[in-house]
Structure 1
Amino acid sequence: MSPRTARRIRVIGIWSLGPAVVLATAATYLLGTPASAAPARAGAAKAAPVLATGDSRSVSEPSVPSTVCATVPAQLTISGRTFSSSQESNPPDTSRIQQKLDSCTGSSGTVAVKLVTSGSANAFLSGPLTVHAGEVLLIDSGATLYGSRNPATYQVSGKPTCGTLAGSEGGCKALIQVSGANAGIEGVQNASGHQGTIDGRGDTAILGGSTTWWQLADQAKAQGLNQQNPRLVEADSSNDFTMYHVNLVDSPNFHVVYKGGNGFTAWGVRIKTPANARNTDGIDPSGATNVTIADSFIQDGDDGIAVKGGSAASNMTIRDDYFWGTHGISIGSETNGGVRNILFENDTLNGVDSSGITSSSDNGIRIKSSPSNGGVVTQVSYLNTCLSGMKAPIVLDTRYSGGSGSSIPSFTDIVINGVLAKSSSSSATSVLNGYNSSHPLGVTLENVRLDVSKSTAEYAQVQTYVSSLMPSGTGVTVTGISGSGSVPSCTFPGYPAL
């Protein structure tokens, strides 16, 4: 970003902000900026923050494999997104697809198992599938893989019964489990921009009852229990995993979880699930390194992105993505393994989904943790972020959900440069909470223009340059700096056709 050009004057003075009293010494005031944006209030000089660089790989747009090892033609059509009772009880395509995936194991290079339409047949109905090393499950444009409604097909041995409520988690396998390096789940995009689809049918009744997967999640919240719902995609320790040009819709639980691997690229992924479908995170890189999520469209009922640090997480780039109705582009709540070098760049968020449903936890930029699972979060940069319809534009919270314990969160070198928020709730409030005076939040706010600038803050060392967000509170110091960049110009497109 090029430095902002402006005339400047030097200002010396004292401001009292309730508990926070700070001295502005030779602060920089940009003439012509809103009064709320300057002058910056200054404390002791701080070291310049370390900017995130993100994924250490050189990442470009993927391509589908040139070699198709096996083709699986569709044999089903569908009406109303359900099949016959016998088909629902015993999903007929599980063994057909898995047999091809198993037979292609060990092929030279990366190969595809391709699901294709056949005449009027365009649907596949399956229980859990395993994608092996060196394989890509490739879904042709116009074809849809539907997840089973029979909870027994997902059951994990020795765990709570899938499709029920329980005090612990882990009763269901994911619809697609990925293991091994150089694997992928991809779609074919046609000239009209339509691409292959995986439908988890979280809005349909669990077989044998009238309760949907999403209603089960709501019941779990009301009763303080855990819903046993399947995720759509889970990749464990799968290095160099790729998701490309695939639609993921209506997952019963998280859409994508990437755990413990080195190298994950998601590009052109379209996730579409309503904002009120509980616990349906978009993409969660967990304890992973070298991740890029780019040019994707994400709508769901929880975090759009949640970088989780239960074990060490590092070197991630989330750029040029669009979000609707989510809980934010987030880090946490697990940070106990440490989170470092995370770059969010050129991302656009709308607090309302494509059907007009407002997110129940309407956040934009978000880092969350607590003493129950806290750790060091450092070198995180949010650059050029566009927000519309937010209740909480910026949330940096070390006391999330009132968690208790001895794992104290520490957020440092957080840079937020370039934010425009419009159409915010009239009560919109940002949160900047460090844990205590020994673990203060360290954040730089540059070129931040919020249409509602209310905030709560404590134990925070804040550096500002052209910011309408000027926090105050116990243990809060605010320092004016000579910054660079500008407030982004923003557009807010509608969700694209699947």
Structure 2
Amino acid sequence: MFAVEGSTDVEVNGFLMKNAQNVFVDIGSNSERVKFLNMDLTAISKSSYPPKNTDGFDIGASKYTTLSNIFIQNEDDCVAFKAGCDQVTITDITCQGSHGLSVGSLGKTNTDTVANVYVRNATMKGATKAAGIKIYPGGPDHGTAVVRNVTWDGIIVDNCGAAFEFDACYNEDESYCEQHPSTAQVSEIYVKNFSGKTSTKYAPTTGHVYCPVEGKNCDVEFTNWTVKSGTGAGQFLCENISSDVLGITCKAP
């Protein structure tokens, strides 16, 4: 619906956008210093079919993107941090019924990089997940990814399927991923001050971090995680990373 490509010093303020046929806002082609302020984006189906592929913001190859005071109601990613995005700041965003604030998907066929993303004060209502990272596995069919210095801070989880998910086996089956684990480098990932409650969809599980390998290439840290499941006290699942490293108690799936 609205594309910003190869542009610098762009500010969009106070727009109401409704029922995009695809992505609402696409930022890329090496744009710099793009701001979207006080925006209202809604995609609501009038039939039994959900409005698919209606990402709120897809942020690709760009630097210094700012989103502030944003409301999005849709049925796909609220904000997707795509390959090439760098220096993104998001403050005061509400997402209704989305797929969350998502890094990726990355590494489908190339080496994809996302770096220096900061999200603060987000309310996530009825999302499939509030936030997360999606990376393809390795092997001859796929590429790899570098994800560095990404922070979600102050996220309210309201009836979401999961509060946080990190998957490095995106869009492939388990046997393929066991043979071809991702070679992605994921570092300085900070999940801070998540509160609220998930739905009963995966209860009692509130989320998971599935690292492809153990060690420095999967550096994820949780601080002040108080999310409960829809049935009461929650559990968190982890693979190839320990509770001590992750910062919260977790168990193998």
TM-score normalised to the size of structure 1? 0.43
Q: Does 1:347 align with 2:113?
A: no
**Correspondence for 2:86 among 314, 319, 344:** 314
Q: Which amino acid aligns with 2:90?
A: I
Q: Say which structure is richer in strand.
A: 2
**Correspondence for 1:327 among 99, 105, 116:** 99
1:240, distance to aligned residue in structure 2 (A): 1.9
Kindly name which structure, 1 or 2, has the bigger radius of gyration based on alpha carbons: 1
Q: Does 1:271 align with 2:41?
A: yes
Residues in 2 aligned to 1:423 and 1:284: alpha-carbon distance in whole angstroms: 25
Residues in 2 aligned to 1:443 and 1:406: alpha-carbon distance in whole angstroms: 18
Residues in 2 aligned to 1:461 and 1:415: alpha-carbon distance in whole angstroms: 15
Residues in 1 aligned to 2:8 and 2:36: alpha-carbon distance in whole angstroms: 13
**Partner residue, 1:425:** 200
Residues in 2 aligned to 1:329 and 1:375: alpha-carbon distance in whole angstroms: 18
Residues in 1 aligned to 2:2 and 2:13: alpha-carbon distance in whole angstroms: 13
Figure out how many residues of one structure are paired with residues of the other and give that number: 229
Q: Which amino acid aligns with 2:224?
A: N
Q: Is the 8 A contact 1:432 1:457 kept in 2?
A: yes
Q: Is the 8 A contact 2:102 2:133 kept in 1?
A: yes
Q: Which amino acid aligns with 2:79?
A: I
Residues 373/289 of structure 1: CA separation in 2 closer, same or farther (3 Å cut)? farther
Q: Does 1:472 align with 2:241?
A: no
Residues in 2 aligned to 1:303 and 1:457: alpha-carbon distance in whole angstroms: 23
Q: Which amino acid aligns with 1:398?
A: A
C-alpha RMSD over aligned residues: 2.2
Structure 2 residue matching 1:400: 3-state secondary structure: coil
Residues 423/408 of structure 1: CA separation in 2 closer, same or farther (3 Å cut)? closer
1:407, distance to aligned residue in structure 2 (A): 6.5
**Correspondence for 1:437 among 194, 201, 214:** 214
Superposed structure 1 runs of 4+ greater than 6 Å apart: 403-407
Q: Is the 8 A contact 2:187 2:216 kept in 1?
A: no
Residues in 2 aligned to 1:390 and 1:407: alpha-carbon distance in whole angstroms: 27
**Partner residue, 2:26:** 257
1:434, distance to aligned residue in structure 2 (A): 0.9
Residues 423/434 of structure 1: CA separation in 2 closer, same or farther (3 Å cut)? closer
Residues in 2 aligned to 1:464 and 1:400: alpha-carbon distance in whole angstroms: 21
Q: Which whole-Å deviations, capped at 9, do the CAs of 1:430-476 have from their partners, x for residues lacking one?
A: 120111236752111111011122333211255355x5xx22239xx
**Partner residue, 1:413:** 188
Superposition map of 1:12-411 within 5 A: 232-259=1-28, 260-274=30-44, 276-309=50-83, 312-334=84-106, 336-351=111-126, 362-371=128-137, 372-402=142-172, 408-411=183-186
Residues in 2 aligned to 1:423 and 1:396: alpha-carbon distance in whole angstroms: 16
Q: Is the 8 A contact 1:410 1:434 kept in 2?
A: no
Q: Mark the runs of 5 or more structure 1 residues left unpaired by the alignment.
A: 1-231, 352-358, 475-498
Structure 2 residue matching 1:269: 3-state secondary structure: strand
Structure 2 residue matching 1:346: 3-state secondary structure: strand
Residues in 2 aligned to 1:331 and 1:273: alpha-carbon distance in whole angstroms: 21
Q: Which amino acid aligns with 1:287?
A: A
Q: Is the 8 A contact 1:303 1:327 kept in 2?
A: yes
1:340, distance to aligned residue in structure 2 (A): 1.2
